[in-house]
Structure 1
């Protein structure tokens, strides 16, 4: 099942399977090549809850999501995505820091970046909070402008 919501970073398509959120996609939406997304169902309980929590996040009223998640990925990707969920609201971490948290050296930073870029549930699994080692914004599947918007939203809410 899926639904589309408006947000400060454009329309978002929320996808649910098996009672868990499996994807948040930025517009323009790509065809669901190889991934079943089912029918549109705006009132599906998981999708409605996700939409409510995202609205609260964008209104600066929610700092931690409480949703059933089921991102599809390799064991390495899953380990990176778990680490991303440990980066607090308004905080950032570098690719190298994430690699170190996983017991790897800075050499694994590129692999962290690749896994970060494949995160199927952005915003909720906060891949936008990962930055370059010098504090610069680097790559974001939704585009750097969206990444900056999300980081600004969180920083503005802290002050």
Structure 2
């Protein structure tokens, strides 16, 4: 088992001098590509203020734009277009990237098509007019759940 240790502090109040204390107010980008082939990811949370029933400070993290790639199991999969799609919450759009022309269809959770748009390269699907909820975007054989 290979272990990749990455310490990212949301807040660091370990020093006695308050001038050395830090509070992270931005994203911490962590490149996991040096791990190579990975079967699973495991995250732990610790606090500088442990308590009897757990940490006395909030523990949380966000995982955004995680891309999972799998090796193709057949020749047909190897020639399938490479497609990526993710919801950009700040802009209110779904960003879609494809190495070939593909139709991207956004479905409501009930399976009803909401919008279909041809994608050739990089494009966005504006979701600002749609209500909050769970959607699925399908681009060829690629599918991903979008939570707005």
TM-score (norm 2): 0.27
Which has a greater percent of strand?
A: 2
Give 1 or 2 for the bigger CA radius of gyration: 2
Structure having the larger proportion of residues in helix: 1
Give the structure, 1 or 2, with the largest relative contact order (CA under 8 Å, sep 6 or more).
1
TM-score normalised per structure 1 = 0.25
